[in-house]
Structure 1
Amino acid sequence: MKSFTERNPMVIGAVGVAVVAAIVVAALQYQNLPLVGQGKTYSAYFADAGGLLSGADVEVSGFPAGRVSRIELDGAQVLVHFRVDKNIRMGEATHAAIKTKSLLGTKVLDVVPRGGGTLTGPIPMSATSSPYQLPDALGDLANTISGLDTDQLSASMATLSEAFTDTPAELRNAVQGVSRFAETLNRRDAQLRNLLDNAATATGVLAQRSDQIVQLVGDTNAVLAELQTQSKAVEEIWTNISAVSLQLKGFIDDNRQQLRPALEKLNGVLTIVDNRKERLQTSIKLLNKYAMSLGESLSSGPFFKAYVANLLPGQFVQPFIDAAFSDLGLDPSVLLPSDRTDPQTGQPGTPALPVPFPRTGQGGEPALNLPEAITGKPGDPRYPYREPLPAPPPGGPPPGPPAAVAPVENPVMQP
């Protein structure tokens, strides 16, 4: 079997990407998996979706038991598909209704199991009900009130009050109260109609912007959660700022006498700078031009000589320089110890390598005993021992190379 290092990295990378993608899809759609999503899907017909969205909660007898999976238009009807727990039995007479869960208009699907048997097809529209919207309620109330004859209502209440004049005091007071209420409605008729119209307009705007309001509340919750998370860090920052301020206050209190003269001198310097601000700005502009010109001239050669115009000659400035050095106890004609030698140019030289010794090639201190350097010494790694040459035979030539025989000049003949 091949190891991972011997396999094709492109194939391994493709398999890894596919596995990661499958895990991400399974994590996002786990409720739709056949082995994990244990719910059963049902459907119902509604005359109006009423703001119900996919993913809304499904409540069975007021208890959360599933979610709306899909909403589609089937002719003039709205077909809502939803999933509930498979352990909940839905009868043939099951009723479904779209209800409002919160004041912001969040909708839920409320399912009430009824009847015997098992629900096999969609719930018919006769067994479903759409939500009653607040704008519709206010609109119906406005239409009902707009059709009332307030004058006739006031006259009817007055007649009723006169008819019950001989009745007991409790009933007469009740009728008189109703009559006064009718008169109040008559007097405030225009204001009430205006109020209801404005309320209908406001509720209509809220209904149109319900999604934005829900998003705003969600964003506000996220901001509050982040602020709560960062509250500890903010508290630490404020604590550190308080500690620093206390330290600065203590430092100023302890050094008030020393800081006062320094601050006074600083104020004087700042005053001088402020009074000569225009001159300083002009000098900085001129210095910029001079520096640019100097840089251009410097880049054109291996050396340069800078000349600043309008300076006093050296013979005029020299007495002041000597006086300044004498105040410091220095003699300008005497060089400092660091100025008496030329500074180093370049890098220091490379140190010499150790010299190899004969027969060994290793560095180190040479042996002072000459025979050890020639014949060696047992156990010495630098001068290993060497067996001496055997002694020459008696009467033979001495050891070493043979002696050269010198040529004979002008040989003498023997008689």
Structure 2
Amino acid sequence: MTEPSANPEIPHAEAKAAGLLLLTLLLVLAFVGYVMQARGVFDDNQHLLLVAENAEGVAVGNDLSFSGFPIGRVTRIELGDDGKAHIHIDVPLRDARWLRSSSVFTLERGVVGGARLRAYSGVLDDPQLEDGARRDVLIGDAASGVSELVATMHKLIDNVARLTAEESALSATLANLQQFSATLNGRHGALGALLGNERDVARVLAALEESRALLVDARASLNKLDAALVDVKAITGNARAASEDLDALRAEVDLNLRKVSGMVDELNRKWPFARERELKLP
């Protein structure tokens, strides 16, 4: 009985290996072709030249975006004869319709991250941007203000340090305020805080005591005046009553005089021996 071979032969092994290698190569080529197609290598492109003061943060392969979508790619960056950065961009023809003659291009640099190239087309009815057009780039650099911001912060910190120093006016004001608060909590309270020394406080308190004594005397005088006014009112009432009695007496006297005058007239009329009819009273 024969033993089986340790390495059995595979029929057509060379052909199968060659087929596997060929299949792998085809897959690699297909993948490369797909990637190149996706990257727009086989697309017809429109060339665009952007001119900027500097190209810091811009690298080959960066996208040119429009409304948040990439429509072009940086292919080359060079220093032009005018001393400015020339950024060459290829835009596929299918996306070139978004670029107009009035389009504006910006280069934005953030504090964190790389630079971003963006295109803005306000009026899409304008003529389409021609191939090989040259446009200037507006640069918005957020990091450029960092140095100025740091300098401002240094000034602010210096000002705060001067304000909080022991010999500063703010420290003196706070010390005076603390002393004023302590005086308010003292024996004489707000009066001592306003006058500032014990002598003036004593004078004011003495003046207040004198004023209080004067007020007490004035109150007693007013009470006496009230009593006198009551007496005057009573006297006035008695005088009014006496005046009323005098009026009644005068009326009675007038009545009696009229009666006497009538009696005299009657006697003069009836007196027989008189030459004159009238009787004159002495």
User: TM range, normalised to the smaller chain?
Assistant: 0.3 to 0.5
**TM-score in terms of structure 1 length:** 0.28
Who wins on radius of gyration, i.e. which is larger?
Answer: 2
**TM-score in terms of structure 2 length:** 0.39
* Structure (1/2) with the larger strand percentage: 2
Which of the pair has the greater relative contact order for Cα pairs under 8 Å at 6+ separation?
2
